[in-house]
Each structure stands twice: as C-alpha cells, then as structure tokens.
Amino acid sequence: MCLIFLQCLFFWHLDGVFGDEVKSVSVMEGDTVTLYTDVTHIHTDDVIEWMFGVQSPDEIIAELNREANKTSFINERLKNHLQIDDQTGSLIITNITTEHTGLYQLEINRKPSVLIRHFNLTVYVIPARLPVPVIRVSSSSSSSCSVLCSVMNASHVSVSWYNGSIIHSSISVSDVKSTASLHLEVEYHDSNTYRCVINNPITNQTQHLHINDLCHKLSVCVECCGFTEAVIRLVVSAVVGVATIGVVIYDIRSR
C-alpha cells in the first residue's frame, strides 16, 4: 500500500504548478460540488486536511482525523457550506457562492507518506435576466416593410432574426454602451413567422414580429412615422390638397 502511495506521490509530482495535476472544476452559483479524493476508503490512522485560498491554498478549512474520529471545519465563513464524506474524505461544498472560487488542496497523511492533490474551483454567476428585444419599423414602401430589432444594455449576447426555426441573420454584441440593432426586410403578405431572439449561452429572450400590427399601421398612422417623415407627408398632402382645390376652382371657372 505504502509502495503504491509513494509511486502515486512520485507520479503526481512530475508536473503542474503545484507539482501535481490541478483538476479544474467549474460550477454555477448555488450548486453543490464534491471535490473527490479518489480514495475508495480511508484508513483508521489517516489524517485528511483540506486547504483553501484564492491565490494559493494557504488556510486549513477542514480536517478529518480518523484515529480520533473527529471532523473539524476551521474556517468560520465557509464552515456552513462544508461537509466531509467520512468514507472517502471527499469535500462537499453546498450552496456555492463566488467566495468559494479559488484553489483547494487535499492532503492525506498516511504515515510515512503524504498524498497531495489540487483543485481549481471556478464559480460562475448566473447572469441577470436579459432585456427583451424591441422591434420597430424603420421604413416602409407599398410592398415591403423594414424593421429593426434593438437591444439595450446587454453585453456578450447574440441578436438574431429567426424565420421559423431558421436563423435569417445574426450579430454578436460584445459590449453595448447604447443600442445594438439588426435590420430585417419583410413583405406585408409574409406570415408572422419572424422573431427576434437575444441570447447568451445560458438564457434568451424572444420578441415576435406581428407584421400587420407594426407595418400596416405605418401607412395610415402619422405617429408611427418619424417626425420628419410625418411633416413631409403633411406638407405633401397639404400641397396636393391645395393643388386639387386650385384645379377644381380653375375647372369651375373655365366652365
């Protein structure tokens, strides 16, 4: 047994920052994770120590002394989150928070040898809900309508137009200080199969395009147009109106 341990010790000391392989463990906030000793069962005279530190494992946080049949959790801040499996000595961390991000060291003292392993635990924070994308009309003609899908205050997301289940177009947004917009041209007679989706690897938000509600309104409703366009339309219809009256009057007079 001792021989195997010494061999393992030798093997583990071949490479890595700590002279052994550092096992990377990634978890989400709120999860429970087990750092495994990979020891099937601990011996009666084993002493198991778990250490932790953000830069390096410099503080003992938990100890299992099999001979004294005693488990202690030393760090006040972490102790409510820690358990030790008394068969294997594995460290169980419950309800993980970002404070648990760091380096962990396992030390099994089995006289006369010491087994050491390292774990690099990274805790990911669940991002807040993504904003819902906003769809608006940018311009329209008699047959087609241009719409824009805009997203505010979201970073590391993709903004995509879906046509049914197919991605029609997509942009990646790494940092949005103001607004990211993605354009789409649709025909009035198109069916309502379009939706704008904003997503990151964890979550997404969808806004469906209702062509009739958005696009047809534009041709009859002044407040849907841009201000300049509205003014131009008003002026044009006024001029047309005056001209029409002029033509009618001229027509009447000439008779």
- C-beta of 64: minimal distance to ligand NAG in Å? 11
Residue among 34 and 204 whose Cβ is closer to ligand NAG: 204
CA 242 to chain centre: 59
Nearer to ligand NAG, 88 or 193 (CB): 193
Helix (H) or strand (E) holding 218: helix 217-220
In the bound state with ligand NAG, the residue whose beta carbon lies nearer, of 16 and 246, is 16
Q: What are phi and psi of 170, to 5 degrees?
A: -155, 145
For tokens 């534009």, name the residue: 218
Least distance (Å) between residue 48 CB and ligand NAG: 15
Q: Name the site residues for ligand NAG (rule: CB under 6 A).
A: 17, 22, 69, 95, 97, 103, 120, 122, 152-153, 163-164, 168, 193, 197, 199, 204
Nearest distance from C-beta of residue 180 to ligand NAG, angstroms: 12
Nearer to ligand NAG, 75 or 199 (CB): 199
19/246 with CB nearer ligand NAG: 19
CA distances from 49 to 45, 87, 94, 125 (A): 13, 14, 18, 28
CB of 202 to ligand NAG, least distance (A): 9
Burial of 25 (0-12, 13-18, 19+ CB in 10 A): middle
Find the angle CA(151)-CA(211)-CA(136) to the nearest 5 degrees: 30
Residues 148, 152, 157, 162, Cα dihedral to 10°: -20
State in angstroms the smallest separation of the CB of 85 from ligand NAG: 14
